[in-house]
Structure 1
Amino acid sequence: MGFGDFLANRMKKSIEKNMRKSTLTEDNIKDTLREIRLTLIEADVNLEVVKSFIKKIEAKATGQYIAEGVRADQQMVKLVHEELTEILGKVNKGLEISKRPSVIMMVGLQGAGKTTSVGKLAHLIDKKYNKKALMVGLDIYRPGAIDQLVEIGAKNNIATFERGKNDPIKTAKESIEYAQKEDFDVVILDTSGRLQIDKPLMKELNEIRKATSPQEILIVVDGMTGQDIINVTSEFNDLLKLSGVIVTKLDGDARGGATLSITSMTKLPVKFIGEGEGISALSEFHPKRMADRILGMGDVDTLFEKAVEVVDQRTMEKTMKRMFMGQFDLEDLRNQLAQVAKMGNLGGVMKMIPGAQKISESQLEAAQKKLFTANILMNSMTLKERREPRVLKAINRKNRIIKGSGRTEKEYNELLQQFDKGKKQVMEMTKQLKSGRMPNLKGMGGKGFGGGMF
């Protein structure tokens, strides 16, 4: 359960349960806000933020009558959405990287995911902003920190600058000179962290800031540490004058209330959130989109942006052409699943789709497991077998694939049955498109290819 899920599961239900009348009355407003208040407190939202949030909604809602055709619950959702967007920061605050090279200084405590966030941010700058980024290893205290950064760079084709255990202030200066010489657009400084804030750390960070004049100073905080991230952010901000926040680990069990509080309490914008381990699992933070997710409305914009960023367009176009020609096979399915996997786990994708929040955690886990099993089975097949699924009826092939994959005969049979059903649906949809008709999607989300496998 990631950030927003706990609130989404509770807040909208509270509104729908209490707002059954055509008018916002004092009683149904009071009942609804009482439940919302408890939900926010349980989600670890700062108490001062909760009080202000509830007070503003109450002031707007009291005495309001419903516009024609709009239900009371819809009116309340609108009011709550407006205030959520407000406390989350109103609008997205983009990166300031117009200078060449622009310097981004990343700070934070150990364990928050700072070094991995440096890699993710460099990747995002390359893909989204089309700028060449240089990562700089300055954490000379944590064992393996610089090696970790170098490894991230090597795996993802991102340039890394490091001078081992040399003075980090000197290394920071040299990295900017190197970036100017080698024509890099952005320099990202991975500074040292500590288990807790101390004077030597702050002095070093301040010296690096003075030596490099960064356009952005971003603090990386762990979304699972609760209200403490507000205190940590405030202390760093007092000395370094931060420009924004990156909140990590929001795909875990954290209820995310501190993330909901941080902008209101520190006046700093959340610029990015991390919701996964992959190099592309860092997203720009949009307050309105997050308010949509918290109220169970999905987040189609972020889903679309993520798809554009990670999906191989040539592979998808090739698969679509084959589908249109009636040639869809297991290799095409395998390629499609690989593209879907790039976007993150199924639960993370589904919560961005409006209405999909009604799918339970157990259903999502079952679907994710089915995708995992299907992929293992298909990887145990030869290319010929995936391209010509009819040959899979041979008992010797079946036994070899089951043994090689470590899966069961039942799982093997289910995969082929689901594929057959799915192919028929794809062919029917293609036939309708060729005839100039809109495809009939009714039933596509059942136990066939679309519902059962995806």
Structure 2
Amino acid sequence: MGFGDFLANRMKKSIEKNMKKTTLTEDNIKETLREIRLTLIEADVNLEVVKEFIKKIETKATGQYISEGVRADQQMVKLVHEELVDILGKTNKPLEISKRPSVIMMVGLQGAGKTTTVGKVAHLIAKKHNKKPLAVGLDIYRPGAIDQLVEIGAKNNFATFEKGKQDPVKTAKEAMDYAEKENFDVVILDTAGRLQIDKNLMTELNNIRKAVSPQEILIVVDGMTGQDIINVTKEFDSLLKLSGVVVTKLDGDARGGATLSITSMTNLPVKFIGEGEGIGALAEFHPKRMADRILGMGDVDSLFEKATEVVDQRTMEKTMKRMFMGQFDLEDLRNQLAQVAKMGNLGGIMKMIPGAQKLTESQLEGAQKKLFVANILMNSMTLKERREPRVLKAINRKQRIIKGSGRTEKEYNDLLQQFDKGKKQVMEMTKQLKSGRMPNLGGLGKKGFGGGMF
């Protein structure tokens, strides 16, 4: 359950349950806000933020009448959405990386995932902004910290700079000289952390700040630590004058309430949220998109951006062309599933699609398992078998694939049956498109992921 999921599962249900009349009355407003208040508190949202949030909605909602054609629950969702966007920071605050080289100084306590996040930021800057990043290892205290950064850089094709146990301030200055000489666009400093804030840590960070004058100073905080991230952020900000916050580990059991509170409590924007362990699992934070997700409206913009960044366009175009020509086969399906896998787990993808939030966790888990099994089975087939599925009817081929994949005969038969059904649907949609008609997509969601294929 990622950030927003806990709230999404409760807030919209509360609104729909209580807003059944055509007017926003004092009684139905009061009951709805009571449930929203409890949900926010349970999600670990700061009490002061909760009070202010509820007060603003109540003021706006009291006495309002519903516009023609708009239900009471829709009107309330609109009001809640507006206030969510407001407390989340109103608008996205992009990185300031126009200067060359720009400097991003990453700070925080140990355990928040700072070094990993430095790698993710470097990857994002290279992929999305098409700039050349240099990650600099300045954590000389945590064993293996610098080696970890160098390893991440080597694995993901971005440059790193380190001088071992040398004074971090001196290393930072040398890194700037190196960046200018080698034409790097962005320098990202992975500074040292501690298990708790202390004077030595803050003095060193302040000296680094004075030495390199960073355009961005971002604090990395652990989203699972709750309200304490607000206090930590305030202490770092008091000395370093932070420019933003990166909240990590929001793909697990974190309920995200502190993230919902942090901008209101510190006046600092959330710049990124970490939603997974992969190098690409760092999302730029957009208040409106997050409000959409919390209220079950999906997040199509983020889904499109993610697809643009990770999907191989040539492969998808080739597959779509084959589909249009009626040549869709198991190799095409395998290629499609590989592209989907690059975007993350199925549950995370479906939550970005409007209306898909109605799928239960068990339904999503079932679909994810089917995708996993299908991939194993197809990997156990030869290219000829994937390109010509009709040959799979042979008993000897069937037995070889089942044995090689370690799956059951039922799973094998289900894959071929689902593929046949899915291919017929693809053929029908293609015919409709060729005839100039819009394909009938009704009911696809009821049949499962991929219109009945899974």
Range of TM-score over shorter length: over 0.9
Cα-to-partner distance string for 1:256-310 (whole Å, 9 max, x where unaligned): 0000000000000001111111111111101011111111111111111111111
The CA distance in 1 between the partners of 2:64 and 2:447, in whole Å, is 45
1:346 aligns with 2:371: no
Aligned match of 1:405: 405
Aligned match of 2:416: 416
Cα-to-partner distance string for 1:136-183 (whole Å, 9 max, x where unaligned): 111111111111111111111111111122221111111111111111
Aligned match of 2:7: 7
Cα-to-partner distance string for 1:356-379 (whole Å, 9 max, x where unaligned): 111001111111111111111111
Q: 1:368 to 1:448 in 2, by over 3 A?
A: closer
Aligned match of 1:429: 429
Cα-to-partner distance string for 1:333-355 (whole Å, 9 max, x where unaligned): 11111111111111111111111
Cα-to-partner distance string for 1:176-208 (whole Å, 9 max, x where unaligned): 111111111001111111111111111111111
Contact 1:3 1:254 survives alignment (8 Å): yes
Q: In percent, how many aligned pairs have the same letter?
A: 89
Shift of 1:30: 0.8
1:275 aligns with 2:275: yes
Question: Greater shift after overlay, 179-188 or 67-76?
Answer: 67-76
Cα-to-partner distance string for 1:432-451 (whole Å, 9 max, x where unaligned): 11121111112333437724
Aligned match of 1:385: 385
Contact 2:136 2:160 survives alignment (8 Å): yes
Question: Greater shift after overlay, 390-399 or 247-256?
Answer: 390-399
Contact 2:444 2:452 survives alignment (8 Å): no
Residue 325 of structure 2 aligns with an amino acid whose one-letter code is: M
Q: 1:448 to 1:421 in 2, by over 3 A?
A: farther
The TM-score with structure 1 as length reference comes to: 0.98
Q: 1:83 to 1:443 in 2, by over 3 A?
A: closer
Contact 1:423 1:449 survives alignment (8 Å): no
Q: Secondary structure at the match of 1:279?
A: coil
Q: 1:344 to 1:177 in 2, by over 3 A?
A: same
Aligned match of 1:149: 149
Cα-to-partner distance string for 1:36-62 (whole Å, 9 max, x where unaligned): 100000000000000010111111111
Residue 310 of structure 1 aligns with an amino acid whose one-letter code is: V
Residue 422 of structure 2 aligns with an amino acid whose one-letter code is: G
Residue 79 of structure 2 aligns with an amino acid whose one-letter code is: L
The CA distance in 2 between the partners of 1:94 and 1:365, in whole Å, is 34
Aligned match of 2:395: 395
Shift of 1:452: 4.5
The CA distance in 2 between the partners of 1:353 and 1:283, in whole Å, is 17
Contact 1:139 1:145 survives alignment (8 Å): yes
Moved over 4 A (4+): 451-454
Shift of 1:132: 0.8
Aligned match of 2:125: 125
Shift of 1:125: 0.8
Contact 2:422 2:451 survives alignment (8 Å): no
Contact 1:274 1:281 survives alignment (8 Å): yes
- Structure 2, unpaired ranges of 5+: none
The CA distance in 1 between the partners of 2:446 and 2:17, in whole Å, is 29
Q: Secondary structure at the match of 1:104?
A: strand
Aligned match of 1:303: 303
Alignment of 1:155-194 (within 5 A): 155-194=155-194
User: How many corresponding residue pairs?
Assistant: 454
Residue 180 of structure 2 aligns with an amino acid whose one-letter code is: Q
The CA distance in 2 between the partners of 1:348 and 1:121, in whole Å, is 21
Alignment of 1:231-270 (within 5 A): 231-270=231-270
Contact 1:18 1:28 survives alignment (8 Å): yes
Residue 37 of structure 1 aligns with an amino acid whose one-letter code is: R
The CA distance in 2 between the partners of 1:140 and 1:407, in whole Å, is 49
The TM-score with structure 2 as length reference comes to: 0.98
Q: Secondary structure at the match of 2:444?
A: coil
Alignment of 1:40-189 (within 5 A): 40-189=40-189
Aligned match of 1:39: 39
Contact 2:223 2:248 survives alignment (8 Å): yes
The CA distance in 2 between the partners of 1:245 and 1:197, in whole Å, is 17
Q: Secondary structure at the match of 1:174?
A: helix
Q: Secondary structure at the match of 1:163?
A: coil
Contact 1:218 1:243 survives alignment (8 Å): yes
The CA distance in 1 between the partners of 2:65 and 2:442, in whole Å, is 37
1:368 aligns with 2:368: yes
The CA distance in 1 between the partners of 2:234 and 2:17, in whole Å, is 38
Q: 1:182 to 1:440 in 2, by over 3 A?
A: same
Aligned match of 1:335: 335
Contact 2:44 2:256 survives alignment (8 Å): yes
Question: Greater shift after overlay, 219-228 or 440-449?
Answer: 440-449
The CA distance in 1 between the partners of 2:449 and 2:420, in whole Å, is 8
Q: Secondary structure at the match of 2:90?
A: coil
Alignment of 1:219-234 (within 5 A): 219-234=219-234
The CA distance in 1 between the partners of 2:271 and 2:443, in whole Å, is 40
Aligned CA RMSD, in angstroms, stands at 1.2
Contact 2:367 2:448 survives alignment (8 Å): no
Contact 2:425 2:451 survives alignment (8 Å): no
